Amino acid sequence: GERWCSGCQSFVPLFYVSGSRCRSCTSEAAHAGMVQKTYGITSDQYAAMYELQGGRCYICQRKSPSRRLAVDHDHDTGAVRGLLCPDPERGCNHAILGPLEASPGGALAAARRMLDYLLDPPYDRIQRGETTMTTYEPPKPVQRAASGSKAYVHGKGGSGAPPPF
């Protein structure tokens, strides 16, 4: 037999029904509720980020075959940044960005050091006769009046965007 799903407004096989919704609609509703409660964004906002990113992790550009992309957020401010791989072992959210945020200077400084390392490695610097390493200082965040999220200040006035790499 079949049963009517109040979520997708269609008949579905009985084995695929949980209460008044099919399993897929039940899962979607649970995810929407969790995202709203945890991150303060609606399911439409999640869908818009997903669409903007082409259904892919922003960092590695892979599609997640079995799980939804994880909502990445700044742990200090709570500001949502985007969607990343959800895998706790190998995913960009936990395996890459998490350790970077915990590093000295935060994720931005660690990402800059990583880029510097790849573009101008210490060995090349030694070959050029350099004896000291330059350190990268991230811009100082300031509180935005309207949204509560942070902006970056560059010298006088600031541009509101992070520095270019």
Digit-coded pLDDT (tens) for 94-130: 788 878 877 777 778 888 888 888 898 888 888 899 8
Q: Is there a contact between 73 and 79 (Cβ–Cβ < 8 Å)?
A: yes
CA distances from 44 to 13, 31, 47, 49, 93 (A): 28, 12, 5, 9, 21
**In this predicted model, what pLDDT tens digit does every residue of 48-78 receive, in sequence order?**
999 999 999 998 898 887 779 999 988 888 8
Q: Where are the alpha helices (DSSP H) in 60-105?
A: 98-102
CA distances from 51 to 20, 58, 80 (A): 28, 11, 16
Helix/strand/coil for 132: coil
pLDDT at 35: 93
Return the exposure string of 11-34: e unless at least 16 CB atoms fall within 10 Å of the residue's CB, then b. ebeeeebeeebbeebbebeeebee
Model confidence at 150, pLDDT cuts 50, 70, 90, reads: very low
pLDDT at 46: 94
End-to-end CA distance of the chain: 59
